Amino acid sequence: MGRRKRQVVPLSGDGRRLEALIDIILRCHPMSLRILAGEYEPTTDELSEILECLSRGDIDIPRGAVGFCGNSEEEVRVIRAETFGGVLGKIGGWSGLAAATRKFAEAYPRTWAIVEDHVRWVAGRSFSRLDEPQLERVASRHGVSTETVQRYRRLFPGQLAELALRG
């Protein structure tokens, strides 16, 4: 029996906003895995602080990391808590995101394990060459290349967003 291959489907506006929120949480929140597991809900103040740092450029989210390039109006809208609140409402809030994470982990346990380890071990959750020793640790642990680790982590927010929006 062959491996299941995830099909990449372009995300809608809500999908891109949810993808951005998931990526921001993974990169910036110290309890990102607990949030995805449904064990912790970030406060409005925590999200506002993260979004404020993003808008000032204090937190480095590479351009295009969540499907946006340049300073488009859409990108500016993404960095606003109200937009995130709207898309969270469509999936059942933080508990809906946690349910989607559980479904993802059940359907793709290897990918989920690699993403978890990337979040735990790679400094700043970045994709920098400076993180090579941590990436090698994660890759070695899972028997994959460092490029595969980075690809799984980079694609995960969009895959989870798609799953969450499908319900």
Report pLDDT digits (tens) over 53-68: 666 665 555 444 433 3
pLDDT of residue 132: 74
Tell me what percent of the residues of the chain surpass a pLDDT of 90.
43
Query: In terms of Cα–Cα distance, which of 54, 46, 49 is closest to 23?
Result: 54
Kindly state the average pLDDT of the residues 127-141: 77
Tell me how far the alpha carbon of residue 110 is from its chain's centroid.
16
Residue 62: phi and psi, rounded to 5, are -55, 140
41 vs 39: CA distance, rounded Å: 7
47 vs 28: CA distance, rounded Å: 10
Contacts of residue 53, defined as CB under 8 A and 6 or more positions apart, other chains included, come to: 28, 59
